[in-house]
Structure 1
Amino acid sequence: MGSSSAREQLAAHAPSGELPEPVFANPSAYRAPGTPRQETLCTLFAEALGVTRVGLDDSFFDLGGQSLNGVRLVNLINKALGSELSIDQLFDFPTVAELDQHLGADPDRTPPQQHTATSRRQA
């Protein structure tokens, strides 16, 4: 069976237009994001994986991630956070919590400038 039949099976089990729920190894262990960066990372992980939610301790690879959507995730993170994350670092830090800690520990990384309505009015 090809990937198109796998997609058809997913579509048949998921309500129209909705993403399937991920299969968690321990659903009671879900830990929600606690910071804006963690929220962003969880959202980007879920988008790259095609699932509805990802918790802090959920591994990208345990949730079905592989190299192609890993590259996509790295690009999404770099764009959203202004980071220079590599695919190798995703393999080293596969959970949101680990990746968040790694990104916070990088002294050379400066956060992207926030564009607010106030700053636009002043310009």
Structure 2
Amino acid sequence: MQEIVEQLKKNNMGLEPVTQTEKSLADIWIEIFGISDIKLDSDFFDLGGNSLTAIKLLSRIEDIYGEDVLSPDTLFSTGQLRQLAAAIDAALQEK
């Protein structure tokens, strides 16, 4: 059973963004970092993100989705694109 779980995790790693939120977030990251190889498991801070680029990211997210959709705390605790997109989607459903 553990082998199946590990294989599923492995298969989901590195996938291209699929949802509109994932694609929009990936586009922002491409703009910020100047790289085009953004995957669902890409981590904001592993790509070179810091407090200044975090401010840019949060500002762009607010421009697209509105205020208070993604908190700085969420960004700093959950840096993967997939998780951040899910947090944005969850916040939008609550509005």
Q: TM-score range by the shorter chain?
A: 0.7 to 0.9
Q: Which residue, 50, 68, 71 being the options, matches 1:66? A: 50
**Structure of larger gyration radius:** 1
**1:31, 1:55 within 8 Å by CA — same for their partners in 2?**
yes
Q: Which residue, 16, 32, 40 being the options, matches 1:32? A: 16
Counterpart of 1:108 in structure 2 is 94
Instruction: Determine the C-alpha separation between the residues in 2 that align with 1:93 and 1:83.
Output: 19
Matched, 1:95 2:80: yes
Counterpart of 1:75 in structure 2 is 59
The code of the aligned residue for 1:101 comes to A
SS of residue paired to 1:105: helix
Instruction: Determine the C-alpha separation between the residues in 2 that align with 1:102 and 1:86.
Output: 9
Matched ranges for 1:2-41 at <5 A: 29-41=13-25
Instruction: Determine the C-alpha separation between the residues in 1 that align with 2:34 and 2:52.
Output: 13
Instruction: Determine the C-alpha separation between the residues in 1 that align with 2:37 and 2:66.
Output: 23
Instruction: Determine the C-alpha separation between the residues in 2 that align with 1:71 and 1:100.
Output: 17
1:57 CA displacement: 0.7
**1:42, 1:53 within 8 Å by CA — same for their partners in 2?**
no
Matched, 1:56 2:44: no
Q: Which has the higher contact order (CA 8 A, sep 6+)?
A: 2
TM-score when normalising by structure 2? 0.74
The code of the aligned residue for 2:22 comes to Q
Q: Which runs of 5+ in 2 are unaligned?
A: 1-12
1:87 CA displacement: 2.0
Decide which structure has greater helix share: 2
Q: Which runs of 5+ in 1 are unaligned?
A: 1-28, 110-123
